[in-house]
Amino acid sequence: MSGLNIGVLAIQGDVAENSFATKMALEENGIEGVVREIKSPEQIPELNGLIIPGGESTVIGQLSLVNGSLKQIKEKISSGMPVLGTCAGLILLSRKAKDRVVGEMDQPLLDLLDVKVERNAFGRQRDSFEAEISMEKIGIPKFKGIFIRAPSIVEIGKNVEIISKFNEKIVAVKQGNIVGTSFHPELTNDLSLHKYFVKLVNSKNA
Amino acid sequence: MIPLSGDVVDSKGIISEKIESYNIKRGTSTLKRGFAHMLKNGVVMDVTTVEQAQIAEDSGAVAVMVLDKLPSDVRKAGGVARTASIRIIQEIMDAVTIPVMAKCRIGHVYEAMVLQETNVDMIDESEVLTPADESHHIWKWDFTTPFVNGARSLGEALRRIEEGAAMIRTKGEPGTGNVAEAVTHIKNVNDELRRIRSIYDSGDEQDLVRMARELRVSYSMLEETASLGRLPVVNFAAGGISTPADAAYLMTLGCDGIFVGSGIFKAEDAKERAQAIVLATTFWEEPDKVKEAQKMIDERQSMLGLDTKNLELRMQERGSTA
């Protein structure tokens, strides 16, 4: 193999930030690879890893359903491709979503990560916050959490490992090849989570 | 990469709190500008009722903007246009899960305060409403809620960012269904960006200082922008967008996303049009998909629109000299 092919789902949201962080993470880890923005389903089968960025989960979900990406992504992750979902990405990976105010949601989801999420769990934009959190379990003791209209995880299945909590709320989880966070690592200068993910992709493709 | 920093030290809008053992901060530049980043490649739709907001959400809008009247009705009604009814804003906030924005008058600090207390996700200090203070815009660093401002030139955009705007949109000419002014404004900004970028590349600091004076912005703001070669915040297109092709065209000019005002809910085929404009914005790089989107609308049902040359009221001029 001549290096990894990592995609960032480029339907809507902060795609550029995730691409940049992943490129830097590859470089700092000394792992060979390319980062591609994924706009059409044909690009998905060749991927070794995928990042689903922040944005609006309803929009990313609906439009990746329309262009056929959702089905392809689901197949690929089910066959073991590592995936990282941040904020909206976490929601899309989940089994079920509800909104704090509106209630149960009927939006397109990948239904791969055995968790139920609560959207806008910390409130609206004015309540968005920065806080130091810890992801000790994956070797990141200190991390700046950027929570923007963030979801939280309210129910987890037995195969889901909790990576981080903020004030008793679950904000990062891992289930095999799937990693999801409520917060936005791509909006910090700290590459540790992207480096962890790139290593995970590398180990699955060794 | 668009920078996320830009805090004014001691900005009143930044709130430090302690929750249990956590020290948290709200209203930082990263959180405000970061919010705008989450909207990228999306469509923000103007709505006046809960029903319209739900249509917008179902069609794939990335956020809704609540107004009392759509811009074309503001234009027709004349008189003073003010911020929307708080009750309607709240009803919409309870009905949709996507972000809800609302407009306040240019310079009207207290309309903005009221919107912040209402908990809207972003405030648009907008020329669609009647300005309260033509010479001073709101000092937006004092707010925890992020702001978006309109601009039709680089100087105007940078002055708004210096006042704390977390996002910029072109002004265009609202409520006309005519995209010509939005096209002109984004091209103006792009031309001026290319100009300062070339001065920056030439290393002529004196000329950069001259440009900062000409645009009436600080040297540091100008230098940062010149080194980036783009605006230091997310930049959307707005004003007169009515069709999927309009939206896709503005995306090709380098906009990060689209605001649609009267174009959707003043058309007879609002639902299909909303979906079509979202599709065209998302897949703007694929002409066949934009064609499919354009096929979803019926041109005979587009809003009639106005020639922007002979308007009595040019909303874009409001607040532009400040």
Mean pLDDT, all residues of chain A: 96
In terms of CA atoms, which chain A residue is nearest residue B96? A102
Can you tell me the distance from the alpha carbon of B319 to that of B301, in angstroms, rounded to the nearest whole number? 33
Residue B10 has pLDDT above 80, yes or no: no
Residue B134 has pLDDT above 90, yes or no: no
**pLDDT at site B265:** 93
B136-151 pLDDT, tens per residue?
999 999 999 999 999 9
Q: Summarize the confidence of residues B24-37 as an average pLDDT.
A: 97
**pLDDT at site B79:** 85
In terms of CA atoms, which chain B residue is nearest residue A60? B60
| Torsions phi, psi for B251 (to 5 deg) | -65, -35
Residue B8 has pLDDT above 80, yes or no: no
Residue B312 has pLDDT above 90, yes or no: no
Residue A206 has pLDDT above 90, yes or no: no
Token look-up 């106005």 returns B306
Domain ranges for chain B, please list them.
29-306
Residue contact A88–B38, C-beta within 8 A: yes
Residue B229's nearest CA partner among B197, B259, B252 is B197
A83-118 pLDDT, tens per residue?
999 999 999 999 999 999 999 999 999 999 999 999
Distance from CA of B79 to the nearest CA of A (A): 32
Considering B32, B103, B171, B266, which one is annotated as catalytic? B103
Residue contact B24–A149, C-beta within 8 A: no
**pLDDT at site B34:** 97
Interface test with A, best of B1, B23, B31 (most A CBs within 10 A): B31
Residue contact B31–A148, C-beta within 8 A: yes
3-state secondary structure chain B: CCCCCCCCCCCCCCEEEEECCEEEEECCHHHHHHHHHCCCCCEEEEECCHHHHHHHHHHCCCEEEECCCCHHHHHHHCCCCCCCCHHHHHHHHHHCCCCEEEEEECCCHHHHHHHHHHCCCEEEEECCCCCCCCCCCCCHHHCCCCEEEEECCHHHHHHHHHCCCCEEEECCCCCCCCCHHHHHHHHHHHHHHHHHHHHHHHCCHHHHHHHHHHHCCCHHHHHHHHHHCCCCCEEEECCCCCCHHHHHHHHHCCCCCEEECHHHHCCCCHHHHHHHHHHHHHCCCCHHHHHHHHHCCCHHHCCCCCCHHHCCCCHHHCCCCC
Q: Summarize the confidence of residues A128-140 as an average pLDDT.
A: 97
Considering A37, A42, A46, A87, which one is annotated as catalytic? A87
Q: Given pLDDT bands bounded at 50, 70 and 90, which one contains residue B9?
A: low
Q: Given pLDDT bands bounded at 50, 70 and 90, which one contains residue B166?
A: very high
Which of A134-138, B88-92, B281-285, B303-307 has the lowest average pLDDT? B303-307
Active site annotation includes B12: no
A16-40 pLDDT, tens per residue?
999 999 999 999 999 999 999 999 9
Active site annotation includes A186: yes
| A-B C-beta contacts closer than 8 Å | 139
Tokens of A127: 């309540």
CATH topology of domain B29-306: TIM Barrel (3.20.20)
Which of chain A's residues have a Cβ under 8 Å away from the Cβ of B258? Answer: none
Which of chain B's residues have a Cβ under 8 Å away from the Cβ of A129? Answer: 17, 24-26, 31
Q: Given pLDDT bands bounded at 50, 70 and 90, which one contains residue B5?
A: confident
Residue B202 has pLDDT above 70, yes or no: yes
**pLDDT at site B67:** 95
Token look-up 């990060």 returns B256
DSSP 8-state secondary structure symbol assigned to residue A12? S
* Option in B38, B63, B97 nearest A13 (CB): B38
For each of the domains in chain A, give its residue range(s) and CATH number, in order of start. Answer: 4-204 (3.40.50.880)
Interface test with A, best of B12, B18, B38 (most A CBs within 10 A): B38
* Option in A16, A102, A184 nearest B34 (CB): A184
Of B119 and B21, the structure prediction assigns the larger pLDDT to B119
**pLDDT at site B320:** 84
B243-272 pLDDT, tens per residue?
999 999 999 999 999 999 888 999 899 999
Residue contact B22–A13, C-beta within 8 A: no
Q: Which residues pair with A161 in a beta bridge?
A: A174
Percent of chain B exceeding pLDDT 70 equals: 99
Which of chain A's residues have a Cβ under 8 Å away from the Cβ of B2? Answer: 16
Which of chain A's residues have a Cβ under 8 Å away from the Cβ of B35? Answer: 125, 128, 148-149
Residue contact A99–B97, C-beta within 8 A: yes
A158 burial class (0-12, 13-18, 19+ CB within 10 angstroms)?
exposed
Burial B295-306 (b: 16+ CB within 10 A, else e): ebbeeeebbebb
